Structure formats: C-alpha cells, structure tokens
Amino acid sequence: MFLHALTLAGYFKYPLIFVGAIVEGPILTVASGFLLHQKVFDLVIVYILLVTGDLVGDIAWYYIGYFLAEPVLRRHGKFLSLTPELFEKIKSIFQRKHSIILFVSKITMGFGMALGTLMTAGAARIPLRLFIFYNALGELIYVAILMLIGYYIGFLYNSIEAGFRIIFLFGVLIAVGLALYGFSQYIKKRAINS
C-alpha cells in the first residue's frame, strides 16, 4: 500500500525524499534503499538527495549551536551538570580534533549523541566549510551503508510469500528500532561512565 502511494506521488517523490532527509535521515534512508529495490527510485538521484538533505539538516543544527548553545548553557547548564569551565574544555577538545569527531560521529550516528555533536561544532565555531567537508565525507559512507541495509531488506521482502510480507516489515521495523535504541543507550552509558 505504501509502495503504491509513493508511486502515485509521481514527481513529488524526490522533493519529499529531500525534505524527509532533512527531518529524519536514518529511517528514511533505510526505507529508500528498500524502495530502490522495488524500483521506485533511481539510485543516483535518491542518493544525492538523501546526502544533501541530511547535510542541510546538520547545518541547521550547527547554526543552532553557533547562536544558541552558549546563552542557553550559561542560563540552564547547571540542570545538565555542565559548568562553564567544562563547556570551555569540551569546545577546546572539539576545536583541536574536529575533523575526526565530525567524521566518526556521522558514520556512527553520533554514538547516540549526534545532535549534541552538531551543535557543539557550531558552539566551538568550527569553520562552516570544514564542518560541511568532514560531515559530507562521513555522510557519503553513512548513507550508502543505510541504503544497502534497506536494499537487502527489500531483497528479503521479495523472497517472502505475499501473506507474510506485512508481518515481516513490522518485525523488521521493531528490530531496527530496538537495535538503534539499544545502541544509543549503550553508548550513552559508556560516555557517562568514562
């Protein structure tokens, strides 16, 4: 049914992918890989739109950090156990190691803290061109991996008998959601304990 609705969207499917990638990149990227296997999308077009859309969303978070992080943390940092001294230390580390932090954060979904990393880049005043370069480099790999996962799910979906396809998709969505949640919780616990 979803596949049919997307096919009916016709010319709007690509603009919807771009806007969707800005709002929710990872899930949409896996779904796009699935739909690529179903021959709904052209590989090159959907790949470029996913990379570009997610990058536009990342730039928005960068600017939120650039303009809002320090004022908000000065007022409310105590509620997050973040002192001005600790914030300056984090910014200093980020300024020295921004290339590796941005690249690794992108290909690992920020170890569960992607938005914080993007905003910290802005707060640390990392030059926008460097932010875009390292983020885009990671983005190219990250989108390719997630699309491959979706493509493989599409392959499995087509090999399942028609009556079980909805159950399969529901199971995959639950499994992926639980895996992402579990991974982010594990990384957060490790970050807190280190």
* 98-116: average pLDDT: 81
Q: How many domains does the chain have?
A: 1
Tell me the mean pLDDT in the region 52-75: 90
Residue listed under structure tokens 């590989």? 43
Tens digit of each residue's pLDDT (9 = 90 or more) over 171-194: 888 887 787 777 767 666 765 665
DSSP code, position 41? S
Name the DSSP letter for residue 48: H
Host domain of residue 71: 2-188
> How far is Cα 37 from Cα 70, in angstroms, rounded to an integer?
45
Query: Is 86 contained in some domain?
Result: yes
Tell me, yes or no, whether 106 lies in a domain.
yes
Give the pair of three-digit tokens for residue 194: 């280190």
Is residue 51 one of the residues assigned to a domain?
yes
Residue 193 lies in a domain: no
CA-to-CA separations, 174 to 17, 167, 171, 179, 181, in angstroms, rounded: 22, 11, 5, 8, 10
**Is-contact 157 168, C-beta < 8 A?**
yes
Against a cut of 0.85, is the pTM above it? Answer: no
- 173 lies in some domain: yes
Asked whether residue 194 is domain-assigned, the answer is no
pLDDT of residue 52: 96
Closest to 20 in 3D by CA, of 56, 62, 64? 56
Q: How far is CA 135 from the centre of its chain?
A: 11
Overall size of the chain counted in residues? 194
Residue type, 75: R
Q: Which has the higher per-residue pLDDT, 74 or 107?
A: 107
Quick check: is 33 in a domain?
yes
Residue 154 confidence (pLDDT): 86
Instruction: Return the biggest CA–CA distance within the chain.
Output: 60
Q: Is residue 179 part of a domain?
A: yes
Is pLDDT at 152 greater than 60 in this prediction?
Answer: yes
Which range (6-10, 30-34, 121-125) has the least confidence? 6-10
